[in-house]
């Protein structure tokens, strides 16, 4: 598990928002409602929750410095 600042990747950020799989799922309405992650993939939700609490992004660091 990573601790500390995440390395920003513009390429991965754009790829995640413009994937074919995302477009198809969105067009067909195959998304589960918010908060249903525990039902669809509990192992991933648990990992993501720990990861998001132990790391921080460059943008959030700038936000706290210039607030």
Beta strands in the chain (DSSP E): 4-5, 55-56
Q: What is the CA radius of gyration of the chain?
A: 15
Q: Domain spans of the chain?
A: 33-67
Contact yes or no for 10/59 (Cβ under 8 A):
no
Q: What is the pLDDT of residues 13-37, one digit of tens each?
A: 898 889 898 889 889 988 888 889 8
Residue 43, pLDDT > 90, answer: yes
- For CA atoms 19, 57, 55, 50, give the dihedral sign: negative
pLDDT attached to residue 35: 86
- For CA atoms 9, 13, 19, 25, give the dihedral sign: positive
């Amino acid at each position: 598990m990573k601790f500390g600042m995440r390395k920003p990747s513009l390429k991965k950020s754009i790829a995640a928002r413009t994937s074919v799989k995302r477009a198809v799922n969105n067009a067909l309405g195959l998304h589960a409602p918010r908060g249903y992650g525990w039902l669809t993939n509990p192992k991933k939700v648990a990992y993501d929750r720990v990861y998001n609490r132990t790391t921080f992004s460059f943008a959030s660091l700038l936000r706290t410095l210039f607030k």
